Structure 1
Amino acid sequence: MTSLLIVTDAWHPQINGVVRSLERTASELQAIGIRVEFLTPQAFRTLPCPTYPEIRLSLAHKGMVRRRIRDFGCDHLHIATEGPLGLLAASVARSMGKPFTTSYHTRFPEYVSARLPVPLKWSYSWLRRFHNSGNGCMVATQTLESDLRERGFTNLMRWSRGVDEGIFRPYEGSVLPADLPRPIFMNVGRVAVEKNIEAFLELDLPGTKVVVGDGPQLESLKRSYPDVVFTGSKVGEELARYYASADVFVFPSLTDTFGNVLLEALACGVPVAAYPVMGPLDVIGETGAGVLHEDLREAALAALDIPREHCRRVALNYTWAASARQFLDNAEEARGKAADAA
């Protein structure tokens, strides 16, 4: 394989795990000689998603998408998201007889049900048809694979994630004000209802709670929790320095499929407290780099005793080079299966 086209509805100005994973995977593939291009909402007129303006919805039609896929002439097509652009790309690929893979990044049915009275089975039925129509669906963890398989998803392939250990590492000193009471309990990520951040903010914990990130729920949470430090969005080394300034990383999400932020926190030497659910079960599990408990307060307090150097050792088991190689192997396997079936 020499060329790859990735279609994604998730793109800048969004800052999230999907965008970062796709960018880093592309960078690693380009380093080994694979030509990688993206088809994103930036190529079309867009509208802001209701209640979530950072997400841009593409105003495209099949002819526009077909022309771009044809002009690129890719060896393999990967559709990363189930949004308007991803749906069009899948429809076009099927009409062209072009093999493609998809990836399941987000527990979309749970996200929808957190905002609208839509039954989970309806959303899963639609997603199952979309992902099963391709030649492979990439998932990040064993827990997610098992869950989707039980729901009737087929052709599942494993695609784990990595962490940039050069940026996300322990740093001397703290970027937080010196007068903040310690310990520092921190959450990093999109500030939105599906992230269940209030479960963290409601905890009776000593010290200070810090939330790093932006999103549609930010202003309302600022008003409701005036004692919490909200820093807004941070990226790169500045973000890593915020992680490293924490004593415990608290991850209250019940809907993430992986949680790249878990690896970033661990690489900075920060232990994790989380619920025993998909994502934390796979990343933390029995590693001893965090505490998983139905009582999140108990988990947060117990995590204070975990050695920071052990957390980093666990994170270093995940590399972007290995992740990209896994992605490429999946794409080549999917192409081979499609060729055999032709």
Structure 2
Amino acid sequence: MRVAIVTESFLPALNGVTTSVCKVLESLRAQGHDALVIAPGTSPWSPTMTPEHYAGFPVHSVTSVPVRQFRVGLPSYEIETVLHRFRPDVMHVASPFVLGVRGLTAARALGIPSVAIYQTDMPSYIRQHSGPAGDLTARAAWRWIRRIHQQADLTLAPSSAALQDLAAHDVPRIAQWGRGVDSDLFHPARRTDPGTAALRARLAPRGETLLGYVGRLAPEKELHRLVELARVPGTRLVLVGEGPSSEMLAASLPGAVFLGRREGEDLARAYAAFDVFVHTGTRETFGQTIQEAAAAGLPVVAPARGGPLDLVEVGVTGDLFDPDRPGDLAAKVAPLVGPEAAELRERMGLAARDRVVTRSWPALVEQLLDHYALAIRDFSRSVA
């Protein structure tokens, strides 16, 4: 199958959209398919530029502009030219909002079946940053999302909560498709790795229970909730990631450790050094870092809202806190703290890994190929 992927985000940016696109490309290559990527480019003077190829597939960069530390690709007619030359069987549009809209329009014009991936709860982010006009702008954002996804032959949502949101806002032709996880990279056995042991000795010199967070350090992640954990004795908070909230968090979380951006085995060792994984955002359509933590054998404490509802089983793989109840995050973390809770943490962590170990990216891409085939079939019927 020939797949054209139009994505709102790509390397060198690291986020959930980029990760899922890269993993899909790697699995498509391994399964013998052909692909092309259209993505926002970086400026020639950027320290790290968008690659020209990934997983052996060409990457076509379009002109982009910076918006709040993100690269936003500008729509142009060159997309039609690139697609016409490649002649894909299907178009995969990752988290369409600006560049992806142009991709969907081009697909319609060229008669290409399209699958749109709903991945970012943009209305909630817009509401958060719009002050008194938040509800009004969020409703406008949902109208825009509905207009975007009406152009797609199929829209895939990563969780039951996201699927319900799309249905509630009359987005047509929807189905659920989750995310894969690298259960070989993120593995409990890494706890015995010398590098992990050295990291843990540095982070917990007095045997503290390490509470770990991985992700972007930005307002939409609602990391202010972590302040509650400063009141939990015998713990130390460790954050992996970077973003515009770094300085504010350093000031409000005395004693916390900031490990910065980590990738690959360095990231896997960070997970392995943690005792408990904590997640704070209530606007997640999925929660990929929750899956990674589970694969690493960690109990997870996350909000009882959005994507985590599908990923955390209360009392079995971790716990869910009420984001509207101050102090509930700390209350749910406290039973997992201390040497006396080691057995409980291990039991929950092993149960969490059992839940995700079969969700490999190759398996998820097999499901994605089925969705592609469905979109192609339905498109053929609609034009027959």
Aligned with 1:317 (options 349, 358, 373):
358
Map 1:62-81 → 2, pairs under 5 A: 63-81=77-95
Cα distance in 1 between the residues matched to 2:298 and 2:198: 13
CA distance in 2, matches of 1:174, 1:153: 50
Residue in structure 1 matched with residue 378 of structure 2 by the alignment: 337
Q: Any unmatched runs of 5+ in structure 2?
A: 42-60, 323-327, 338-343
The match for 1:186 among 191, 212, 215 is 212
Is 1:159 the counterpart of 2:146? The answer is no
Question: Structure 2 CA distance, aligned partners of 1:189 and 1:180?
Answer: 26
Q: Distance in 2 between matches of 1:127 and 1:161?
A: 21
Listed one character per residue, the Cα deviations across residues 194-227 of structure 1 (whole Å, up to 9, x for unaligned) are: 1111112333222111111011111222233232
Task: Tell me how far apart the structure 2 counterparts of residues 79 and 299 of structure 1 sit (CA, whole Å).
Answer: 38
Q: Percent identity?
A: 30
Q: TM-score, normalised by structure 2?
A: 0.84
Alignment of 1:31-180 (within 5 A): 31-42=30-41, 43-49=61-67, 52-53=68-69, 55-61=70-76, 63-116=77-130, 117-118=133-134, 119=136, 120-170=138-188, 171=190, 172=192, 173-176=197-200, 177=202, 178-179=204-205
Q: Which residue of 1 aligns with 2:294?
A: 266
Which residue matches 2:238?
Answer: 210
SS in 1 for 2:244: coil
Who is 2:309 aligned against?
Answer: 281
What's the secondary structure of 2:199's corresponding residue? coil
**C-alpha distance after superposition, 1:276-299 (max 9, x if no partner):** 111111011358111112111122
Once residues 315 and 112 of structure 2 are traced to their aligned partners in structure 1, the CA distance between those partners, rounded to angstroms, is 42
Q: Could you tell me how far apart the structure 2 residues matched to 1:174 and 1:199 are?
A: 29
Counterparts of 1:226 and 1:292 in 2: how far apart (Å)? 25
SS at match of 1:186: strand
Within the candidate set 253, 260, 271, 1:243 is matched to 271
Bigger RCO (CA 8 Å, 6+ sep): 1
Q: CA deviation at 1:18?
A: 1.4
* Gapped regions of structure 1 (runs ≥ 5): none
Once residues 92 and 293 of structure 2 are traced to their aligned partners in structure 1, the CA distance between those partners, rounded to angstroms, is 29
Aligned 8 A contact 1:187 1:250 in 2: yes
Per the alignment, residue 25 of structure 1 pairs with 24
Amino acid at match of 1:201: V
SS at the partner of 1:160?
Answer: coil
RMSD: 1.6
CA contact (8 A) 1:291 1:299 kept: yes
Q: Cα gap change, 1:60/1:238 in structure 2, threshold over 3 Å: closer, same or farther?
A: same
Match of 1:221 in 2: 249
1:115 CA drift (Å)? 1.4
Would the alpha carbon gap of residues 248 and 77 (structure 1) be closer, same or farther in structure 2, given more than 3 Å must change?
same
Q: List 4+ stretches of structure 1 deviating above 4 A.
A: none
Q: Is the 8 A contact 1:248 1:303 kept in 2?
A: yes
Aligned-partner residue type, residue 333 of structure 2: A
Q: Does 1:302 align with 2:359?
A: no
Question: How big is the shift at 1:82?
Answer: 2.2
Q: Give the TM-score of the pair, scaled to structure 1.
A: 0.94
- Confirm or deny: 8 A CA contact 2:89 2:112 kept in the other structure: no
Q: Structure 1 residues 223-232 or 15-24, which shifts more? A: 223-232
Aligned partner of residue 148 in structure 2, secondary structure: helix
The answer for the alignment partner of 2:51 in structure 1 is: none
Counterpart for residue 198 of structure 1: 224
Amino acid at match of 1:266: A
